Structure 1
């Protein structure tokens, strides 16, 4: 019994309940127009941070998720990457578009995609510089107790 309780408590400590995330939302535009279907990834600048991501809707608006759908991000400094692969096949089934959550494997794919400069194999629908937090020039500071809303206006040139 004690061992089972210890395993449960360790598991909870690694889950979203101990992360103390705060709500984060925002909007992405490309040359002033909403950018739907883009993935926004907040990559922490410190080792204790956690990656958070969200997908833009038809108005270019996003809500970040760290563990549970819409839970936000851990307060801290972030480099931001925005990706929008050129579709080379049928539409991608993203559970966040229906209010669902990403699996750990999907989050790993998003993190890996944000690290690459070219986005998906089919190319990028936006300038490649925005697809990596190290080259995008986009940053965000998430603060507890403040309105964490960010606007990223990307330029095609």
Structure 2
């Protein structure tokens, strides 16, 4: 009986040690390539740009990264999971900010659907200068470095 109790105690101790070792992190093991944190600010002629989409296009055509600006123009890049950064390497950066003008209310759209009429698409206008929205024309180029805080600010000029 005593050896059974001793074996059970050892098993519980080993299980709790393993659980503590593996369970301390709230994140599952990640076998994807290492990423470096990337943050920054986007401004348009000095003013912060809210809801702009920033994309880092890998020069070597590997995995890119994306982000969305906050009200103050700040962004954090994502490659695989929110805020995980970008793979180290060279990138061409594009920035896009679209304004959507929808002249119809939701009630008007619903009525059109009920009548079997097609709803016209909302008008979309790009607010960033064209060269910043195209990866083959963008003058914005950066290098993300491993094990460093990578902070890139972009002041786009009209």
Range class of TM-score, shorter chain: 0.5 to 0.7
Residue 62 of structure 1 corresponds to: 75
Structure 2 residue 144 is matched with structure 1 residue 131: no
Q: Which runs of 4+ in 1 moved over 2 A?
A: none
Q: Deviations over 1:70-118 (max 9, x none)?
A: 000000000000001121239xxxxxxxxxxxxxxxxxxxxxxxxxxxx
Normalising to structure 2: TM-score of the pair?
A: 0.66
Are the counterparts in 2 of residues 37 and 55 from structure 1 also a CA contact under 8 Å? yes
Corresponding residue to 1:37 among 51, 58, 61: 51
Bigger proportion of residues as strand: 2
Stretches of structure 2 that go unaligned for 5 or more consecutive residues are 1-28, 104-121
Between the aligned partners of 2:101 and 2:86, the Cα distance in structure 1 is 31
Are the counterparts in 2 of residues 16 and 68 from structure 1 also a CA contact under 8 Å? no
Normalising to structure 1: TM-score of the pair?
A: 0.66
Q: Deviations over 1:16-43 (max 9, x none)?
A: 6322111111110000110111000000
> Alignment RMSD, CA only?
2.1
Structure 2 residue 33 is matched with structure 1 residue 19: yes
Between the aligned partners of 1:56 and 1:42, the Cα distance in structure 2 is 14
Equivalences for residues 84-123 of structure 1 within 5 A: 84-89=97-102, 122-123=124-125
Residue 146 of structure 1 corresponds to: 148
CA radius of gyration, larger in: 2
Structure 2 residue 99 is matched with structure 1 residue 79: no
User: How far is 1:126 from its partner?
Assistant: 1.4
Stretches of structure 1 that go unaligned for 5 or more consecutive residues are 1-14, 91-119
| C-alpha distance 153-68 of structure 1, shift in aligned 2 (>3 A) | same
| C-alpha distance 141-121 of structure 1, shift in aligned 2 (>3 A) | farther
Give the number of aligned pairs. Answer: 112
| SS class of match (2:100) | coil
